[in-house]
Amino acid sequence: EVQLVDSGGGLVQPGGSLRLSCAASGFTFSSYWMSWVRQAPGKGLEWVANIKQDGSEKYYVDSVKGRFTISRDNAKDSLYLQMNSLRADDTAVYYCARGIGVVTSYYFDHWGQGTRVTVSS
């Protein structure tokens, strides 16, 4: 059974940092693009970042470029999101998601349960 377990969220002050993790199991992690998608309170879904199977390609939504870094450790079947210079509008539930499709054109067939990030003083 495919499982994605998100962790690392919490309360952080503006300007602070957090590192989110996603532990994968039940599939060959190294064969899939992986993504982070977030959902602000009461709002819709927003793709944040993704990373190619071998980590050689990474993409970010404009609003997080230069502040967030996505990475993966295929030996540990884990995905990460390092978030720096956090702002109030980064407050959201962050989900890791597995991508499936054609090359970089993929939809998300499995999602983690989400981890909540609150940026507030």
Partner 1 sequence: DIVMTQSPDSLAVSLGERATIRCKSSQSVLYSSDSKNYLAWYQQKPGQPPKLLIYWASTRESGVPDRFSGSGSGTDFTLTISSLQAEDVAVYYCQQYYSTPGWTFGQGTKVAIK
Judged by CB under 8 A, does residue 111 bind partner 1? yes
Q: Segment near partner 1 (CB under 8 A), from 11-19, 21-29, 82-90, 98-106?
A: 98-106
Contact present, 108 and 35 (Cβ < 8 Å): yes
Contact present, 53 and 31 (Cβ < 8 Å): yes
Contact present, 21 and 29 (Cβ < 8 Å): no
Q: Segment near partner 1 (CB under 8 A), from 15-23, 72-80, 81-89, 96-104?
A: 96-104
What number of chain residues touch partner 1 (CB under 8 A)? 23
Q: Segment near partner 1 (CB under 8 A), from 8-16, 17-25, 59-67, 77-85?
A: 59-67
Contact present, 5 and 94 (Cβ < 8 Å): no
Give the span between the Cα atoms of 11 and 78, in whole angstroms.
Answer: 23
Judged by CB under 8 A, does residue 27 bind partner 1? no
